[in-house]
Structures are given as C-alpha cells and as structure tokens.
Amino acid sequence: MRIIIVGGGEVGFYLAQRLSLEKHELTVIEMDIDKCEKIRNALDIMVIEGNGASQEVLKEAGIDETDMIIGASGADEINIFACMIAAKYNVKLKAARVRSPEYYSSNSIFKPGELGVDLFIHPEEEVAEEILRLLMRATATEIIEFEKGKMLVVGIKLDKRCPYLNKQLKEMGTEELRKKFRVVAILKNNKTIIPTGEDYINNNDHLFVATRIEHLTDLLKMTGKEEQRLDKIMVLGGGKIGRSVVRGLEKKNKKVTLIEVNKEKSRKVACEFEKTMVVQADGTEIDLLAKEGILEMDAFVAVTSDDEKNIISCLLARHLGIQKTISLVNKIDYMPLMPVIGIDSTVNVRLSTANAILRLIRRGHILSVVSFHGIEAEGIEFEIKEKGKITDKPLSKIKLPEGSVIAFIVRHGESFVPHGNSVIKQGDRVIVFALPQAVPELERKFS
C-alpha cells in the first residue's frame, strides 16, 4: 500500500517505523529540517521537506497514486486540509489526527465526509479511557479489552512473590488452570518475545496474558498478586487528558484531587468540577503535595505535557508509598525505562493514534488491531469467512509464522482461550498476537 504521512514528529515517526516493517511504500512530509534528517537516517523511506497542506508538495509526494493519507502533524488544520486535497485525488483512505472537538463533535456543522476525512483520531480521549481502565484494575500495568470487556489481555510485572519464577510456562499452575490463560508476549530484558511453553519466566519479566474477565482473580493469585481497590486518586495536570480522567473518576464516585501549576488554568478547572479538589501547585514539590494529602492517596496519575515532570512526580509518589502510579510518556526513548525505574503503568498518545490508524489500514478479513506500550507485539482480530487451510484442524497442526500466537477464539458470541486441540471453524473470529515482521504472513494465512 502507498501511504503518505503528513508530519514527522513523535506520532508520524512512530507510524512510519511500524508501517515500514510491514513493507508499505511510505512517504513522510515534514516542515522541520532536523526531523526530516532524523527520519532519513533511521528509515529507508522517502522524506519530503515541506507543508503537508500544500497541493504542490502533495503532488511531489505522489498524491495521485496514493492509497492512503495520514494527517499526523500537530496542527489540526494541516491534517484536515491534507485530507481534503487527498479526497479530490480519490485517495481511498484518509485519516486526520485532530485535537479540537470543534471538528469531530456531534455539534460540529461539518461532517467528516464533508471535510474529506474517513477517520478522525482524537487520541487524548482514548488515553484518558485507558487510564480509567488501569485505575479500575490496579494490579495490571496494562489492560486491553476484547468482546466488550469479556476477554482481556493483562500486563503483569513479575516480582519475587510469583511462585513460578525460573520455571517454564508449561509448569505454571495445574493443567486445568493453564487452559484459562495464555501468555501471548513477554518483555524480557527490553526484548519482546512471543513465547512457547518451553520459555522460562524470571523476576522482573513483564507478562502479557490473555484470559476471560472471570478468571482474572485466579491469574493474579497464580502470579503472586492480589486485587487492589483505589478510592483516593491524585491527578497531576489540568489539560485535556487530566480533565477527562477527572470527569470519569467523578462518575465512579472516586475522591479526586487535581494538581495544576498554572494559576489561571487551575481556576478555570475548579469551576468545571463540583466534587474534585483543585490545587494550584508544582507536581515535584514534595512538601506541597504532602500538605494536599498525597500520603493518603491510593493512586497518582501524571498527565502534564512535560514527560520529565510526569516521571519525576510519579517516582516521588512511589517513594511516598502510593500503591499505583501512572505516567503519560510521549518520548520513545523513555518507554523501556519506565518499568525498570518503578513506574507501574505508562500511557502514550502516539500508541493510541497508531491503534486507530492501523485499524483503518487493515482490510478484508481483519476486524481490529491493538498495540501495547513498551513492547513490539500487536493484537490482530481476524474474521474466518471461508473454509481453508487453517480451519477444521487442531491448532497444534497449524504452522503459524514465527513470532505469533493465537490468544482467543470467538464463536457464536462465546469466546475462549484455545489450546492445542482447539479447532478454528468457518465464521469464527480469531485474535492473534504477533511481532511486526510476522504480520504480512499472518494476513496471507488468514485471508
């Protein structure tokens, strides 16, 4: 597929990295010369220095022969205008990253089609939803829901409380218990692996486990964890994400304190919420935070626009004994460090953007795609429309590409974690986890 990405910042660069692994023909348009040079040095793709909303620049990028355009710059208007031009050239798929709800809300006088956009992406709202899920399931470092929350992929950081350290996956629990779970990925020493039963688990490994929601408690016990209830939560940052999180927490009747350093913004936010205490303070001033009750909090969420401030404030909260810390981190280089330095969970705007765009790019038998923080694997949901080489035979007889594993099968509305004797049937939906290099072969096998 020929794809033009407008914007070579954090989001655009990450998308280019992901899509280049799948052998798409990519062109990135970016106005900043330093960002252009960074992309050229890192990736073997075409990079054009210029304005992505310029007709001439888009012509130079080959807009007349393009299958998809992605507006991923930091400017809503550039992203939308690039899609409008692409629509005139009959580009099939057009996605725009948009921050202002003025363009995508139900009250907008414009409909997406009138602006030439197939998909508006507003990742800040998706990030806020992810934070709320993590706060409801405190022990998990990450939670991805399937089948309206009936099936989960849960991130769990192993520590010395896990009774199965230094053992193979096939030795975990009883045979009956193992049928309820499937470890679909392990982050081990900053490297992502798609494991088999022969792989060992060790202290500080980060497991990603597929299970039904009713088996989550059993899974936590098996890994030496227990459910935590979080009722008092402090949120640092009164921006769009912070306000969305607070709004969601108020609906769940949680006791919330919002910290915002800007005096004018803190006053504005205080008028927006009735139940939440809003405090003007710096999130790294430990004495001030103690005065405002951080020692009584169950969780601390840092979502300012400053990665370093988010990280430092979460580390301070962890030092003070807070059960759960969640940090917004946008810099790629920081992601692998977060679990190592002790931050429980990270959320990332570019990953949310990538998930939405990858869902649009996938086609045919693919229903959805999800990515995870800090690991390379992604989850892909396939629909088995016809009988073929993968149907009506035990999974143990199907040779999947190296670096892939089947997590769930959904049949007639019922979902389950499969084992070696399970069979894929026509009409099933199958969720597969895979490293990026295995995706093209998976698409061929399941199409």
What superfamily in CATH does domain 2-121 come from?
A: NAD(P)-binding Rossmann-like Domain (3.40.50.720)
Q: Which CATH class is domain 352-446?
A: alpha beta
Are 131-222 and 352-446 the same fold in CATH?
Answer: yes
| Domain range list for the chain | 2-121, 131-222, 230-347, 352-446
Q: What pTM value is reported for the model?
A: 0.72
Tens of each residue's pLDDT in the chain, 447 residues = 899 999 998 889 988 988 887 778 999 999 999 999 999 999 999 999 999 999 999 999 999 999 999 999 989 999 999 999 999 999 999 999 888 877 777 777 777 778 889 888 887 888 898 899 889 877 888 888 887 778 889 989 898 999 999 999 999 988 888 889 999 999 888 788 999 889 999 998 989 999 998 998 889 889 998 877 899 999 999 999 999 999 999 999 999 999 999 999 999 999 999 899 999 988 888 888 888 888 999 999 999 999 999 999 999 999 999 989 999 998 867 877 887 788 888 888 877 777 677 766 654 455 556 767 667 788 888 889 888 889 999 999 999 999 999 999 999 888 899 988 899 999 999 999 998 888 888 888 887
What superfamily in CATH does domain 230-347 come from?
A: NAD(P)-binding Rossmann-like Domain (3.40.50.720)
CATH number at 131-222: 3.30.70.1450
**Which H, E and C letters describe the chain, residue by residue?**
CEEEEECCCHHHHHHHHHHHHCCCEEEEEECCHHHHHHHHHHCCCEEEECCCCCHHHHHHCCHHHCCEEEECCCCHHHHHHHHHHHHHCCCCEEEEECCCHHHHCCCCCCCHHHHCCCEEECHHHHHHHHHHHHHHCCCCCEEEEEHHHCEEEEEEECCCCCCCCCEEHHHCCCHHHHCCEEEEEEEECCEEECCCCCCEECCCCEEEEEEEHHHHHHHHHHCCCCCCCCCEEEEECCCHHHHHHHHHHHHCCCEEEEEECCHHHHHHHHHHCCCCEEEECCCCCHHHHHHCCHHHCCEEEECCCCHHHHHHHHHHHHHCCCCEEEEECCCHHHHHHHHHHCCCEEECHHHHHHHHHHHHHCCCCEEEEEECCCCCCEEEEEECCCCCCCCCCEHHHCCCCCCEEEEEEEECCEEECCCCCCECCCCCEEEEEECHHHHHHHHHHHC
